[in-house]
Amino acid sequence: MAEQRKNNYNESSIRVLKGLEPVRQRPGMYTRTENALHILQEVIDNSADEALAGHAKNIHVTLHADGSVSVADDGRGIPVGKHPDENVSVVEIVFTRLHAGGKFDKTAGGAYAFSGGLHGVGVSVTNALSKRLEVTVWRDGSEYRIVFADGEVIEPLKRTATAGGRAGTSVRVWPDAKYFDDAAIPVAELARSLKARAVLLPGVITHLANEKTGRSESWRYQGGLKDYLLELVESEPLVVDPWLGEGYVGAGDETFAIGEGAQWAVAWTAEGPTPRESFVNLIPTTAGGTHEAGLREGLFSAVKGFIEQHNLMPKGVKVLPEDVFSRVSFVLSAKVLDPQFQGQTKEKLTSRDALRLVATQVRPPLELWLNRDLDSARKIAELAIRAAQHRARSAQKVEKKKGSGVAVLPGKLTDCESTDIARNEIFLVEGDSAGGSAKMGRDKEFQAILPLRGKVLNTWETEPDRLFANAEVHDIAVALGIDPHGISDTINWNNLRYGKVCILSDADVDGAHIQVLLLTLFFKHFPQLVQRGHVFVARPPLFRIDVSASGKRAARKLYALDDGELTHVLDKLRQEGLRETAWSISRFKGLGEMSAEQLWETTLNPDTRRLSLVALGQVDAMGTTKRFHLLMGRTEAASRRAWLEEKGHEAEADL
């Protein structure tokens, strides 16, 4: 009977979420939930929109000691009168109703001709996800105050004092930690956001005060985008001076509204990182979007036209947009009347017309600048041409050797007889000598052996399409039956020939190095093989202990992986009452010294071997990537040395 009630589906099963309840039920649909910065950003955006409209000159953000954050501006102040249709004060509607705000009024003379808020769920989301929210408004000579808790009004709007000549809005927020992964506000990210607004709003000062640390900062950029861009590129030498420009639509345009357009600062560097930041109506678009695509299109069209006009293109070279854009750093600020974003977090602009809007504003002034400054133009053209040539060389892929349309298995591969992929194993063995012992000691039914000559190539910085230039990597890929791939590539796992891929190397420093080189190959170029649990490391013993016959016990051979296990074995022998002269210890210098029988018994036999699965475990992929880059990156020698100096005492020397 209880089960029947549980599964009953009728009219009462339909639940209607009212007010701000949808936000609290599914906060991730409306904002980022890593921390509370984004809901604070909604409040800051409102103050920035007042500044963008020319009504505010200061934006103050204070991190209070009790964990709350306040945002204040000297703009016009949120209207406090009753809404003509709702019969509720406008300030209450703004903080308690989804899809309500002044940013929908786009008519001439509207409250916000250009603004970041378009969905109308901004500060109402802030209120919904806060334990408490206080709003103070200075408007029309009076001070007003309204207080919310858990999204509901607990202190109705009332006039509290005269404004004393002040105008603006102050919002103090106590974010509710239960909605966020981390209750702490990322101060550095908040500071960058306020700094960027000072760049994008000429004459506006942004302030950040932290009551806990006693520190405060202010930003005001006289040089605008250029100064900010030069900070971003830091010490990287510029190929030419930064190019600054802006373009906005005037009267008579049939496609775009008056005032739509962009301003930009662009720099070209020969090497190093290429920082890029973009904004739409002051909203940071960290994931880019169509406005960035418009900048790219405008740059490409102008630079390509200059190259063709001056006959600079070498024979057989074709310049593509990515060639022109590859060494470009920029700060782009676009003004779009009705911006469409990907999701409420507004990280990516998706407005289709923005591409053509920005491209048409960028291309003409760049063409003019290139033809006025021929020296700079030629340097930019040379950068693009070199990038195109490098791309063309990289595209000359080294293909796998094939015969009759089927990849030919490596001649040195000793394959197994079984076709049961779940059972089949392949051992990548260090050296031909060890490979010979492994071939004789293996179970030929399900174990395959692929000997490797010397140390495998360090493939950390090798492009995927150049991997097959290395014979060892080529043979490994052909033997496995799958090509190098990325994290999200689609793989036909039916082509995988072995369920276990086992790295088998000597139990010494050189063997460990070979392990690292092979793990680098798999982590970087066969990541899904690792994720699916196909990669293992075989652990051959370092020591052999020959124990003489004693009493009724025959002579025997024991093995130890390392010094610690050796100590344990010897302690056990002593507990058996054996004297020190009853055994002898041999250290294997390499797999080649082991007989086929010993190799089978210690390393190949599934019942007695030690085989370690390679997995990321609890370490995040980003952290693993950084560690691999430190250890294997060609340009990280100085960092490796510093790391070894710091961590070297933790390693035991194997002499």
Catalytic residue, candidates 74, 92, 506, 601? 506
- State the Cα angle at 305 between 300 and 308, rounded to 5°: 125
Q: What SS3 class is residue 654?
A: coil
Amino acid at 593: E
| Closest of 44, 59, 64 to residue 214, by C-alpha | 64
Is-contact 523 530, C-beta < 8 A? yes
Q: Specify the pairing of strand 425-430 against strand 402-403.
A: unpaired
Q: Is 483 a catalytic residue?
A: no
Q: Alpha-carbon distance 478 to 474, whole Å?
A: 6
Q: Is 576 a catalytic residue?
A: no
Place of tokens 């306040």: 70
Is-contact 82 220, C-beta < 8 A? no
Helix H or strand E encompassing 293: helix 290-309
* Cβ atoms < 10 Å from Cβ of 504: 30
Q: Is 430 a catalytic residue?
A: yes
Is-contact 531 465, C-beta < 8 A? no
* Phi, then psi, of 493 in degrees rounded to 5: -70, -10
* Cβ atoms < 10 Å from Cβ of 299: 25
Rg, C-alpha atoms of the chain = 34
Q: Alpha-carbon distance 500 to 410, whole Å?
A: 18
* Cβ atoms < 10 Å from Cβ of 13: 7
Query: Can you read off the two tokens belonging to residue 318?
Result: 């074709």
Total residue length of the chain = 655
Catalytic residue, candidates 425, 430, 472, 483? 430
Question: DSSP label at 553?
Answer: B
Q: Alpha-carbon distance 241 to 246, whole Å?
A: 16
* Phi, then psi, of 407 in degrees rounded to 5: -60, 130
Catalytic residue, candidates 510, 546, 563, 597? 510
Place of tokens 């409209």: 53
Q: Alpha-carbon distance 283 to 279, whole Å?
A: 5
Is-contact 507 539, C-beta < 8 A? yes
CA atoms within 13 Å, Cβ hemisphere of 37: 16
Q: What is the largest CA-CA distance in the chain?
A: 108
CA atoms within 13 Å, Cβ hemisphere of 160: 13
Q: Specify the pairing of strand 402-403 against strand 406-407.
A: antiparallel
Q: Is 508 a catalytic residue?
A: yes
Catalytic residue, candidates 508, 565, 593, 636? 508
* Cβ atoms < 10 Å from Cβ of 4: 7
Q: Alpha-carbon distance 301 to 507, whole Å?
A: 58
Angle, nearest 10°, between helix axes 621-632 and 637-647?
Answer: 110
Q: Specify the pairing of strand 425-430 against strand 500-504.
A: parallel
Active site amino acids: 430, 506, 508, 510
